[in-house]
Structure 1
């Protein structure tokens, strides 16, 4: 019987349980389905599509090496599964579990209903240390238990499926013909082989200042792993990455260097912790965790546009947005600052803020992204509303303004500290700020803090007692 391997955000050949298990049972039909609705309704943009295409090209080369084809289909998943069924008969379906918003969750419910009706066996495999159990709360021991399951080998001499009826007419290049919003970037190239190169560079040298530069916008680009896009699209297995980290830790003697890599290792656990949240609540991009702050924010188009384009008049904010548009990546501290500034000072709707940033983040991972957007918008009922002082942030993390000068060259003739607050100069050489920062900061803080302190019980997304 034909074994269909439904490729989603797992574009690799190593540690790929669905691929390996399928290879043990029959003819293997590896299939990537690009569903246009995800690019119409999700935050995905041209940069994500380009990364996917590059990943598929790399994966095709890997499949060629072991004698497997790679089929591509543009359209509805149920339609192509029905076509395979009608043309070649009943098949078995294999895929990794997908942990996303209601868009992919509801699509999976449709496919599940179809497989039951057609008596097609669909086996889903864990891609992360995330559990598919209603109301499950994540624990460190669950992550380690998943790690112990071991690495799945690359299939040896798999039997390829032959499409004698020529039902697959789309090619990888056809994906690039789709009309998708946004602009491409060249800083990251998709693919498992690229991810492996990045990982090697990190373990060889980059990790040595990982924790030291982690919050520095101009330096973190040289010390961070930059592996997040490769995890987000499944070019790399987080289990293999964790085991590689442990292997390198055993070889390090210097306590300082060991500390740097241990800090990285902790973030691999937190990755799965946040993904577990969206597995529990796929509506995390739509419904606030704590609803007390709902109705306070309202997206005004002029402020929305200024934030999106990096023209707010505040250098550190605009520099971060320009870097995102150029590279698709900034460090976590600056991401948090941007989300907080837009949601808590400009008072833009947190959903709109999440959509803007998600379309720029090349490493958009729904569980991590929407958990952090809600956190920075003060929607975690157990935490305060984070109000970042962006001028203080400039002094702390870009004290020589090297990042601002790099991203906003029109300010290169303004010295520190004036470059952090050019609107205070007699002749402002930069864009006039879209708000009066000091007064708006205090106004927003008062509104949000008063709402946060309310004792009134509100519905909680996670069903917890507050």
Structure 2
């Protein structure tokens, strides 16, 4: 090959549409689209088999789309720098192209190694922005406007690619090939561009009407929420595609008149706001990578034991705490890879306050369970729900009240905790109060591992004791200046219409969000 080869390194951007590196690289010469499966990444404690299965589905879809453009995806397994070195020994490399990534610490260190390799070889590595996250951000002032401006730019068409010769496409490895631990998730969402587009269309035009009212309860949220979060996490859809499709739907609703239009409009306003929050939280980890490992406010260091109570942690992970609604949520998460935002927050809060576990171990478990695991959203949210940021309201969810509020008929608990089938409806969320409790508790189903009311009271006193004093408040003010939102609500619809100020969402730092676009 006479012309220098431009390598497009796919990472968490597994699509050909609205893909700046692919387009820009194609303007400079022949393109080698590359994905590197990194075994070391998949051995990290926040990664799991369900993530990898979703990834392989996205890769298969991406390979099909690239084949249509002219050059299939090249897949290799190993360390990125070693794969790049092999290619550099065979071809003249004109440049490396990729999207920016706000990942976990492992990917951050990997990218530093790639930077050093490129510098040593004299190869230019161009990284393009793909979300509302801004690298080396100096101030949050004006961040929302920059988000709007970026999302309002026209999408990028997929280019034609000249076919390359002399390269094997490479097999997409399996979970077995990487020796990953078994991770059955029978009701997991499927990956790939087609599934992503179908999910977006069904939400905007069929499923989304009850979004605003239904998002809080797992009884309805599985259908009423967008379910776009895993597709955004792996980049089968771009955030800009979702934002612009949502704005288009809002314009369409504005120009129509039909029964239920107002409900639809409210749903779309709420969803559009959550797209901002998705990037808002990712920006936190981008600006402060230590969030993955350390308390944001260091006054909380030592508050909880670093070595978790293994019995409590295991009971929580297995959905065997004796708190029916908590256990139902955890079991549903294990089987589906997804949970609505309020229940994610409750699971983390129960682990942190009622079971008094340091957030790192429960956070890792949830990361492995969520098919839509996005480090930039996950770790700031884990800390927020654990009360260690210093700037957020301390929320200690009452797990019994949450069950009564969100599953009043007990249908969700009965589905996921069948051991309680003989307990009557009146006591389903508190089976220890049932007359026949002795036939079930301690036998088919455990007694509660803590007194949830007493544990909550004790946790509240410990957490609030840390918040006293001028030193705490001074550090909290610095954290707020760096990471906090600049007003009570960000614009909801980009440049479409900012006049309806009454429709602002709550402060994102008070929102119970894990999956962003849930």
Q: Normalised by the size of structure 2, how large is the TM-score?
A: 0.85
Deviation per CA, 1:265-300, whole angstroms, max 9, x where unpaired? 111111111111111112211011112222121211
1:140 aligns with 2:144: yes
Distance 1:29 1:176, change over 3 A: farther
Aligned partner of 2:194 in structure 1 is: 193
Deviation, structure 1 residue 66? 1.6
Deviation, structure 1 residue 397? 0.9
1:358–1:369 contact (8 Å) kept in structure 2: yes
Distance 1:136 1:465, change over 3 A: closer
1:32–1:73 contact (8 Å) kept in structure 2: yes
Residue among 157, 160, 163 paired with 1:160: 163
Provide the rounded CA distance (Å) in 2 between the counterparts of 1:460 and 1:305: 34
Provide the rounded CA distance (Å) in 2 between the counterparts of 1:463 and 1:100: 24
Aligned partner of 2:302 in structure 1 is: 295
Residue among 304, 310, 325 paired with 2:334: 325
2:6–2:29 contact (8 Å) kept in structure 1: yes
2:391–2:479 contact (8 Å) kept in structure 1: no
| Aligned residue pair count | 462
Deviates more, 1:217-226 or 1:142-151: 142-151
Deviation per CA, 1:400-444, whole angstroms, max 9, x where unpaired? 111111111222332333000112334432321111222222222
Provide the rounded CA distance (Å) in 2 between the counterparts of 1:464 and 1:451: 16
1:240 aligns with 2:249: no
Deviation, structure 1 residue 114? 1.3
Aligned partner of 2:16 in structure 1 is: 13
Aligned partner of 1:395 in structure 2 is: 404
Residue among 344, 358, 370 paired with 1:349: 358
Deviation, structure 1 residue 243? 0.5
Deviation, structure 1 residue 175? 5.7
SS at match of 1:283: helix
1:2–1:161 contact (8 Å) kept in structure 2: no
1:92 aligns with 2:95: yes
Deviation, structure 1 residue 237? 0.9
Deviates more, 1:36-45 or 1:332-341: 36-45
Aligned partner of 1:446 in structure 2 is: 461
Deviation per CA, 1:335-381, whole angstroms, max 9, x where unpaired? 00111110111111101111011100110001111111010011121
Aligned partner of 2:322 in structure 1 is: 313
Provide the rounded CA distance (Å) in 1 between the counterparts of 2:105 and 2:396: 30
Aligned partner of 2:276 in structure 1 is: 269
Deviation, structure 1 residue 396? 1.0
1:257 aligns with 2:261: no
Aligned partner of 2:84 in structure 1 is: 81
Aligned partner of 1:111 in structure 2 is: 114
1:36 aligns with 2:39: yes
SS at match of 1:33: strand
CA RMSD in angstroms comes to 1.9
Provide the rounded CA distance (Å) in 2 between the counterparts of 1:316 and 1:24: 55
SS at match of 1:4: strand
For structure 1, the 5+ residue unaligned runs are: none
Deviation per CA, 1:321-342, whole angstroms, max 9, x where unpaired? 0011000111000000111110
Distance 1:93 1:461, change over 3 A: farther
1:288–1:461 contact (8 Å) kept in structure 2: no
Deviation, structure 1 residue 161? 2.8
For structure 2, the 5+ residue unaligned runs are: 482-518
Provide the rounded CA distance (Å) in 2 between the counterparts of 1:38 and 1:153: 31
2:398–2:452 contact (8 Å) kept in structure 1: no
Residue among 406, 410, 416 paired with 1:407: 416
Provide the rounded CA distance (Å) in 2 between the counterparts of 1:382 and 1:461: 6
Aligned partner of 1:285 in structure 2 is: 292
Aligned partner of 2:495 in structure 1 is: none
2:152–2:240 contact (8 Å) kept in structure 1: no
Provide the rounded CA distance (Å) in 2 between the counterparts of 1:132 and 1:419: 49
Deviation, structure 1 residue 42? 4.2
Provide the rounded CA distance (Å) in 2 between the counterparts of 1:151 and 1:312: 48
1:135–1:280 contact (8 Å) kept in structure 2: no
1:92–1:122 contact (8 Å) kept in structure 2: yes
Aligned partner of 2:503 in structure 1 is: none
Distance 1:135 1:106, change over 3 A: farther
